[in-house]
């Protein structure tokens, strides 16, 4: 329970950052012949900042950064700089790195990041930094740097010792990763004659707790002046929660010569469901108990329209594992949370609707509830009116659904336009809607009437409408109140 509470606090902090500019800052203290220094790695989430169109439809964002290094309330270093995103057509996260010289001692690292195109979008945070005294007569080490990815991929933002890497944002391992990757530098081992060894261990809970030892590995160390340790540990079986990594150098008599530790957190919903299925006895006797794998997968895929974005990602991960018990538990837990007293009855009532939708909108491209029309039907219910057009000149068959009241987004007169560009059976695709939570395509009319190229209005890049034509009815239908 304590472990889960710690993770809940982490997510509250994480969620509060996502409401503003989303910037992750990782730091690590190193030592060299020229003294000690700190490297800072900055990642800006592209979705949290404003992009301006600059040239040839390319976009760019700019973040103003201010990093202050303080000791005893005195500013030791002040660094103000801009972080520019690459010039791209589709925005993606962008990075920066800085380096600061340090003397031994404790510091406050204070940093402010502001969107230069939207000044009120900013964050200000601080953390404590400690630089250990470097003793030339004993073993010393750097801080522990956690990676999200490492390899030779040129798209990874930073390079070190011949490899490329991406720091672990917020020191939280997400479902995309199945391993803990860390980098550590050990100094001064060439001065010790006896053989040296290292252990790296993962414990439950953050440092300072008496967590259970979960994973451990050992290795023999070389006698280099600087030993570069780059290791990974599989964590696929660990549940979501808080953890800490300990690194220990010891001799053959098992005397500890040096020690460092690092906190991290994990979000691993697949492991969570796998473990919950093991301990939930009610689940074993529930409605999913006698279901075949085919029935379970059908029931899970039918849930897609009922889930939030994070739940959809979890479901996709669970479907990809192939573990029947985990799939069953996800299905059971969803319906048990909605109808604690009769989850089986709620499931069976839902599946009656699903099978009807499957029959109504099914095609050779997939189940009916997985088509665009089936998905919208299951998500928002039956429309108040449907306008089907199958014989309009220069347009493929299309269908406009009308919802007079739309509680999901607190709108009224919401419309969805589906069209069948392949002219294949019932393969209707959602082209445009005025629903604020769904796809909106300002060029929908030119796409729908793409066969009439010479009647498009405006330039080819951002033109939106067609020349008026008595037989061209889609806009009139869509705008009709």
Q: In which residue are the tokens 């490297």 written?
A: 39
Q: Return all residues near 210 (Cβ < 8 A) that are at least 6 apart.
A: none
Compute the distance between CA of residue 342 and CA of residue 326 in angstroms, rounded to an integer. Answer: 21
pLDDT, position 481: 62
pLDDT at 144 over 50: yes
pLDDT, position 16: 41
pLDDT at 18 over 50: no
pLDDT digits (tens, 9 = 90+) for 266-320: 988 888 888 888 888 888 889 999 999 999 999 999 998 888 777 888 888 888 8
Across 146-171, average pLDDT: 92
Q: In which residue are the tokens 């990093």 written?
A: 67
Compute the distance between CA of residue 412 and CA of residue 416 in angstroms, rounded to an integer. Answer: 13
Across 67-83, average pLDDT: 95
pLDDT digits (tens, 9 = 90+) for 108-118: 999 999 999 98
pLDDT digits (tens, 9 = 90+) for 386-399: 999 998 988 999 99
Domains and CATH numbers, the chain: 2-269 (2.60.40.10), 272-372 (no CATH), 383-479 (no CATH)
pLDDT, position 366: 78
* Alpha carbon of residue 321 to chain centroid: 19
Across 231-240, average pLDDT: 90
* pLDDT over 90 percentage in the chain: 64
pLDDT, position 215: 95
pLDDT, position 464: 79
pLDDT, position 24: 95
Residues 162 and 228: beta-carbon distance below 8 Å: no
pLDDT digits (tens, 9 = 90+) for 415-469: 999 999 988 878 899 999 999 989 899 889 999 998 888 888 877 666 778 888 8
Alpha carbon of 358 to those of 229, 270, 296, 334, 353: distances in Å? Answer: 54, 28, 16, 21, 9
Mean pLDDT for all residues in the chain: 89
How much is the pTM?
0.72
pLDDT, position 117: 93
pLDDT, position 9: 40
């Amino acid at each position: 329970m304590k472990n889960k509470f710690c993770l809940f606090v982490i997510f509250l902090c994480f969620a509060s950052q996502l409401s503003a500019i989303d910037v992750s800052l990782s730091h690590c203290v190193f030592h060299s012949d020229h003294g000690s220094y700190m490297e800072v790695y900055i990642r800006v989430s592209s979705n949290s900042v404003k992009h301006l169109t600059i040239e040839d439809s390319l976009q760019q964002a700019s973040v103003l950064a201010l990093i202050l290094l303080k000791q005893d309330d005195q500013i030791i270093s002040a660094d103000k700089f801009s972080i520019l995103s690459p010039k791209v057509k589709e925005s993606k996260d962008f990075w920066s790195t800085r380096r600061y010289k340090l003397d031994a001692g404790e510091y406050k690292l204070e940093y402010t990041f502001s969107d230069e195109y939207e000044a009120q979008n900013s964050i200000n945070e601080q953390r404590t930094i400690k630089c250990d005294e470097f003793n030339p007569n004993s073993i010393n080490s750097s801080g522990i740097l956690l990676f999200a990815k490492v390899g030779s991929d040129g798209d990874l933002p930073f390079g070190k010792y011949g490899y490329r890497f991406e720091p672990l944002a917020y020191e939280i391992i997400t479902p995309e990763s199945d391993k803990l990757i860390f980098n550590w530098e050990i100094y001064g081992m060439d001065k010790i004659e006896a053989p040296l060894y290292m252990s790296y261990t993962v414990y439950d809970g953050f440092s300072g707790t008496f967590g259970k030892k979960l994973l451990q590995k050992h290795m023999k160390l070389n006698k280099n002046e600087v030993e570069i340790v780059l290791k990974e540990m599989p964590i696929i079986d660990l549940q979501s929660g808080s953890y800490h990594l300990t690194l220990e150098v010891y001799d053959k008599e098992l005397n500890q010569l040096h020690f460092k530790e690092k906190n991290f957190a994990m979000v691993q919903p697949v492991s969570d469901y796998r473990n919950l299925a093991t301990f939930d006895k009610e689940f074993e006797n529930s409605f999913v108990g006698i279901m075949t794998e085919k029935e379970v997968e059908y029931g899970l895929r039918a849930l897609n329209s009922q889930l939030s974005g994070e739940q959809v990602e979890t479901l996709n991960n669970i479907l990809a594992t192939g573990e029947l018990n985990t799939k069953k538990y996800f299905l059971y837990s969803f319906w048990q949370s909605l109808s604690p007293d009769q989850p089986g009855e709620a499931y069976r009532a839902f599946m009656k609707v699903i099978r009807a939708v499957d029959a109504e909108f099914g095609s050779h491209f997939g189940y009916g509830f997985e088509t665009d029309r089936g998905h919208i039907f299951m998500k928002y219910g039956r429309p108040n009116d449907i306008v089907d057009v199958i014989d309009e000149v220069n347009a493929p068959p299309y269908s406009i659904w009308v919802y007079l009241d739309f509680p999901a987004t607190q709108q009224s007169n919401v419309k969805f336009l589906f069209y069948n560009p392949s002219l294949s059976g019932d393969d209707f695709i959602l082209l445009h809607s005025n629903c604020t939570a769904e796809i909106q395509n300002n060029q929908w009319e030119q796409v729908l009437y793409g066969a009439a190229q010479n009647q498009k209005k405006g330039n080819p890049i951002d033109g939106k409408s067609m020349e008026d034509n008595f037989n061209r009815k889609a806009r009139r239908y869509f705008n009709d109140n």
